[in-house]
């Protein structure tokens, strides 16, 4: 689908742009992806209001996470999360075996070191969506073997 690829291309160009910016600011070793994360946050925050409009009220946190895994993910990535695990104490692990932004390049270790760039936006997206649902969280991602990706959500309770 042409409209799907458009999102992929825009996403990769935004990352290139952010990398370019951080290079100009003199960050030679570390890449600054906070801007990409923030873009994700703002988008996640806004889209959540729309997606939950016709949805009955969530029972609890787990119910919310299930929504993220199914409807939220389908809306953005056209597939569902493959595996959701939780310790019931505020840590959730979402595993996607074929993460969309990683399926475009080779499956081996060739680009493994660059993978973090392609998950920053999604981390922000999840964090923003949850923030709008009044769940403050820290989202990190882990890529071990190429097209699969794990998102760790740590819910911050105050």
Partner 1 sequence: MTTRSWWRHGESYRMSRLRTKNSPLYIGGIGNDTNTDNELSRQWLVHTALDALEERLASNNSNTTGANTNNTRTDLRDLYLGLLYSTDTHKIYGYVTNTRIKLVLVTSSTSPSGSNIRDAEVRTALRRLHALYADAICNPFHLPGDQITSLKFDKQVKNLMLNNV
Residue 1's contacts (CB-CB under 8 Å, 6 or more residues apart) are: none
Nearest approach, Cβ of residue 157 and partner 1 (Å)? 14
Contact stretch for partner 1 (CB under 8 A) within 26-34, 42-50, 103-111, 141-149: 42-50
How big is the chain, counted in residues?
Answer: 158
Distances (CA, A) of 147 to 24, 118, 125: 31, 11, 19
The residue within the footprint of partner 1, chosen from 21, 27, 49, 103 (CB under 8 A), is 49
Nearer to partner 1, 23 or 157 (CB): 157
Nearest approach, Cβ of residue 50 and partner 1 (Å)? 5
Residue 118's contacts (CB-CB under 8 Å, 6 or more residues apart) are: 11, 12, 15, 101, 102
Contact stretch for partner 1 (CB under 8 A) within 5-13, 17-25, 54-62, 136-144: 54-62
Site string for partner 1, 113-142 (x = CB under 8 A): -------------------xxx--------
If one asks whether residue 55 binds partner 1 (CB under 8 A), the answer comes out as yes
Q: Where are the beta strands (DSSP E) in 4-156?
A: 83-86, 91-96, 137-142, 149-155
If one asks whether residue 14 binds partner 1 (CB under 8 A), the answer comes out as no
Distances (CA, A) of 59 to 54, 63, 66, 131: 15, 6, 11, 17
If one asks whether residue 46 binds partner 1 (CB under 8 A), the answer comes out as yes
Cβ-based neighbour number of residue 46 at 10 Å:
12
Nearest approach, Cβ of residue 116 and partner 1 (Å)? 26
> Which residues lie near partner 1 (CB under 8 A)?
45-46, 48-50, 52-53, 55-59, 132-134
């Amino acid at each position: 689908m042409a409209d799907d690829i458009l999102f992929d291309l825009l996403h990769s160009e935004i990352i290139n742009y952010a990398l370019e910016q951080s290079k100009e600011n003199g960050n030679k070793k570390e890449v600054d992806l906070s801007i990409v994360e923030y873009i994700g946050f703002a988008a996640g925050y806004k889209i959540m209001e729309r997606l939950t409009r016709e949805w009955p009220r969530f029972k609890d946190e787990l119910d919310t996470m299930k929504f993220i895994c199914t409807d939220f993910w389908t809306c953005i990535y056209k597939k569902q999360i493959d595996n959701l695990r939780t310790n019931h104490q505020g840590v959730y692990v979402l595993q996607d075996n074929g993460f969309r932004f990683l399926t475009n390049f080779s499956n081996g270790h060739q680009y493994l070191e660059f993978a973090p760039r392609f998950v920053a936006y999604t981390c922000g997206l999840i964090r923003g969506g949850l923030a709008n649902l009044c769940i403050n969280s820290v989202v990190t991602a882990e890529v071990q073997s190429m097209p699969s990706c794990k998102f760790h959500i740590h819910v911050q309770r105050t």
